């Protein structure tokens, strides 16, 4: 079975390009291309942001009871004092 409607090939692209030039005019084509490029950049940035948010939600968070090396240097009394100051 041969599909009746397919992707344009060869000379069909030239005809489509000629119609676009006639409709929009040669002077407006750079502006049209620039606007399309900006829209695509914005779209890519937004989809990347959504993917990053999704990845952040999937990452397991470390338990708060674990301390790293920098936290070991602070005395426990200092931490309690800082919490009291922050709550006051």
Structure tokens at 22: 């006639």
Q: Residue 28: its pLDDT value, please?
A: 86
pLDDT digits (tens, 9 = 90+) for 35-46: 999 999 999 999
Q: Is the pLDDT of residue 50 over 90?
A: no
Q: Is the dihedral of CA 65, 69, 74, 79 positive or negative?
A: negative
Return the DSSP state at 80.
H
Looking at per-residue pLDDT, the higher value among 26 and 67 belongs to 26
Structure tokens at 61: 């968070």
Q: What is the pTM of this model?
A: 0.42
Q: Residue 41: its pLDDT value, please?
A: 95
Q: Is the pLDDT of residue 47 over 60?
A: yes
Name the one residue in this structure whose structure tokens are 């490029």.
37
Q: Residue 34: its pLDDT value, please?
A: 92
Give me the residue spans of the domains in the chain: 26-57
| Residue 3 three-state SS | coil
Q: Residue 63: its pLDDT value, please?
A: 55
């Amino acid at each position: 079975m041969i599909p009746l409607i397919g992707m344009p090939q060869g000379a069909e692209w030239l005809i489509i390009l000629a119609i676009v030039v006639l409709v929009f005019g040669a002077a407006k084509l750079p502006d049209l291309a620039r606007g399309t490029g900006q829209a695509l950049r914005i779209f890519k940035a937004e989809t990347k942001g959504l993917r990053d948010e999704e990845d952040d939600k999937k990452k397991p968070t470390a338990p708060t009871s674990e301390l790293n090396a920098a936290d070991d240097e602070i005395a426990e009394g200092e931490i309690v004092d800082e919490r009291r100051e922050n709550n006051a």
